[in-house]
């Protein structure tokens, strides 16, 4: 289940100034090597070290955008996935060290050279209506996700299964035609309840807003545009979470969210670099909050609609990329809290190209390429081709001040070479539903979470270039398709790395995205929450184990 976020558009439920939303996998995503996990202040500990975890209290998260759909297979925004992650379970999940471990499965194995996977589910896992979760639910989930009528952007993973065999009530096997490198990661996707959803139109079911889950929390209420409230599940097989309620308050403005956090009306948010560096010092912040800092598993990019007549020309894309000063973006937008990016992988990860570097600004070369592509300056120095001005819109979502500032700096840098880039912001839900998913944009500033497995098929393969697909810029390259397909069928890490290195070289040459930067995640958490244990997986991986001492439960439930 938690694996679904690997391709979430980053407008996070939890973070105030995110990538495509969630800014950094701040709370539940990977945080990279240990060296990248400096903790600014100590891990919260009970005042009495003998004090044991207790139940009770509430926690308030700040969300810059509202969830769109709690059926994870239909949503691409991390706002939806963050909530759904607490409602459903999956056969496997990543542990704190980012290693696969059983979750709903009691045990699992890979056989026949990785072409057959066998899972035995735990007995007694209950859906919240009291029905037991079984292997039939898994088989139903696979059928629904791979059904063309569902049109799930995540269907490709399960489509690789040649045969799914239900061996008994709790045991099933997935048989693959050939080795599939992402097979393990694909089984970290949520199980859906057959007895609830069978016979329904998955795209129109009320389940998307009133789900029946088997995870640590249940949906209590959803006040559209305002908040989503989850209640601890008393039947969760892993044990009832300690915190009674988790409330996601939808606050589409970073400054307002910060004030709400400072006033004690929010418990968790992701700080902007300015807030982190300059606005969270002093006794209130030092006494009431813990700050964390680590390189996020997300990259921010400027993506071109490749159906646009300007951006079909690779020379134009290269020129715009050369006009952008990424170091200035890191300094101006992130105040140094991040690093320049050159591709779709996290610095330090095994799949990243060994020698490629971020595109360095070269205004002279940018102008030369645009001249070669037929653009000529007018009397005001602005470029035209065949009488048409080089003007386009950069689209991003409202409330994301970091992204808007990024667009503003890029706008200035492009204007210096005679390109008129205009900025347009749209409310998040409409931004994704009406513009990104339908390809109704010239260029967008967004961000992708970076998965633990380096497979990027769903974002870059030409088969995913359709409405609602994750390849929403419509990038199509036969060599990239072949490389991605080969990498999925290659078990050896070194060989996979070589294939992905070639993909990165092609993307660097063709610039369908201008890869901009990888930010630091800068979460802040109210000090009264205990049980937080920063690890490679971030800080939210063990959220159901967080707790609040009785004396500090400010938001106790009332009858």
pTM: 0.82
> What is the tens place of the pLDDT at every residue in 284-298?
899 999 999 989 999
Q: How confident is the model at residue 50 (pLDDT cuts 50, 70, 90)?
A: low
Predicted local confidence at residue 99, as pLDDT? 92
DSSP state string for 273-293: HHHHHHSS-SHHHHHHEEEB-
Question: Residue 34: is its pLDDT beyond 50?
Answer: no
State which of 151-160, 439-448, 528-537 shows the largest mean pLDDT.
439-448
Going from the N-terminus, what domains does the chain have, and what CATH number goes with each? Answer: 88-211 (3.90.76.10), 298-519 (3.10.105.10)
**Cβ atoms 514, 302 nearer than 8 A:** yes
Backbone angles phi, psi at 394, to 5 degrees: -100, 120
Provide mean pLDDT across the span 58-85. 92
Q: Is the dihedral of CA 179, 185, 187, 191 positive or negative?
A: negative
Q: How confident is the model at residue 9 (pLDDT cuts 50, 70, 90)?
A: very low
Closest CA to 442 of 490, 485, 474: 474
Residues 367, 319: Cα–Cα separation, whole Å: 7
Residues 188, 91: Cα–Cα separation, whole Å: 6
Predicted local confidence at residue 145, as pLDDT? 97
> What is the tens place of the pLDDT at every residue in 386-427?
999 999 999 999 888 899 999 999 999 999 999 999 999 998
Question: Residue 179: is its pLDDT beyond 80?
Answer: yes
Q: Average pLDDT, whole number, for the chain?
A: 89
3-state secondary structure 483-534: HHHHHHCCCCHHHHHHHHHHHHHHHHHHCCEEEEEEEEECEEEECCCECCCC
Provide mean pLDDT across the span 347-376. 96
Question: Residue 43: is its pLDDT beyond 70?
Answer: no
- Weakest mean pLDDT among 62-66, 86-90, 145-149: 62-66
> What is the tens place of the pLDDT at every residue in 72-111?
999 888 889 999 999 999 999 999 998 999 999 999 999 9
Percent over 70 (pLDDT), the chain:
90
Q: Residue 545 burial by CB count (10 A; 0-12/13-18/19+): exposed, middle or buried? A: middle
Predicted local confidence at residue 153, as pLDDT? 87
Question: Residue 32: is its pLDDT beyond 70?
Answer: no
- 5, two tokens: 């976020």
Predicted local confidence at residue 17, as pLDDT? 31
Q: How confident is the model at residue 65 (pLDDT cuts 50, 70, 90)?
A: confident
Question: Residue 537: is its pLDDT beyond 60?
Answer: yes
Q: Is 174 helix (H, G, I), strand (E, B) or coil?
A: strand
What is the bridge-based pairing of β-strands 391-397 and 443-449?
A: parallel
């Amino acid at each position: 289940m938690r694996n679904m976020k690997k391709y979430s558009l980053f407008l996070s439920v939890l973070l105030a100034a995110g990538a495509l939303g969630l800014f950094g996998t701040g709370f539940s995503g990977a945080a990279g090597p240990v060296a990248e996990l400096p903790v600014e202040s100590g891990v919260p500990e009970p005042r009495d070290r003998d004090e044991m975890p207790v139940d009770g209290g509430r926690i308030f998260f700040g969300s810059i955008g509202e969830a769109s759909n709690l059926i994870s297979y239909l949503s691409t925004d991390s706002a939806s996935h963050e909530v759904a992650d607490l409602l459903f379970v999956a056969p496997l999940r990543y542990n704190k060290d980012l290693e696969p471990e059983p979750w709903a499965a009691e045990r699992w194995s890979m056989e026949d050279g990785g072409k057959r996977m066998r899972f035995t589910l735990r007995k007694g896992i209950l859906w919240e209506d009291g029905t037991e979760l079984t292997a039939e639910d898994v088989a139903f989930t696979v059928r629904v996700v791979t059904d063309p009528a569902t049109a799930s952007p995540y269907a490709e993973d399960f489509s690789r299964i040649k045969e799914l065999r239900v061996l008994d009530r709790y045991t099933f096997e997935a048989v693959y035609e050939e080795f599939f490198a992402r097979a393990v990661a694909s089984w970290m996707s949520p199980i859906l309840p057959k007895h609830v959803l069978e016979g329904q139109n998955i795209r129109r079911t009320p389940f998307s807003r009133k789900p029946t889950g088997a995870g640590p929390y249940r949906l209590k209420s959803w006040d559209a545009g305002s908040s989503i409230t989850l209640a601890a599940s008393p039947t969760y097989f892993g044990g009832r979470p300690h915190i009674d309620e988790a409330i996601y308050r939808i606050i589409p403005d970073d400054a307002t969210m910060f004030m709400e956090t400072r006033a004690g009306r929010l418990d968790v948010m992701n700080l902007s670099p300015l807030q982190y560096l300059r606005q969270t010092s002093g006794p209130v912040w030092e006494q009431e909050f813990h700050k964390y800092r680590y390189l996020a598993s997300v990259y921010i990019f400027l993506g071109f609609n490749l159906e646009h007549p300007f951006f079909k020309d690779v020379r134009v894309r290269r020129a715009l990329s050369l006009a952008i000063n990424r170091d200035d973006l890191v300094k101006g937008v992130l105040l140094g809290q991040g690093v320049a990016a050159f591709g779709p992988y996290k610095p330090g990860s095994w799949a990243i190209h060994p020698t490629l570097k971020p595109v360095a600004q070269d205004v002279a070369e940018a102008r030369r390429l645009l001249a070669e592509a037929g653009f000529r300056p007018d009397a005001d120095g602005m470029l035209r081709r065949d009488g048409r001005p080089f003007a386009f819109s950069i689209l991003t979502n409202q409330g994301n001040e970091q992204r808007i500032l990024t667009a503003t700096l890029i706008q200035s840098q492009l204007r210096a070479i005679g390109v008129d880039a205009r900025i347009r912001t749209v409310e998040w839900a409409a931004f994704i539903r009406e513009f990104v998913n339908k390809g109704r944009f010239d260029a967008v500033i967004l961000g992708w979470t970076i998965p633990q497995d380096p497979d990027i098929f769903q974002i870059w393969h030409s088969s995913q270039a359709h409405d609602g697909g994750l390849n929403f810029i419509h990038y199509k390259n036969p060599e990239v398709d072949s490389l991605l397909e080969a990498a999925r069928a290659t078990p050896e890490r070194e060989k996979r790395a070589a294939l992905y290195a070639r993909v990165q070289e092609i993307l660097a040459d063709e610039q369908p995205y201008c890869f901009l930067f990888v930010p630091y995640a800068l979460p802040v958490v109210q000090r009264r929450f205990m049980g937080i244990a920063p690890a490679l997986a971030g800080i939210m991986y063990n959220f159901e184990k967080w707790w609040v001492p009785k004396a500090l439960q400010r938001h106790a439930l009332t009858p």
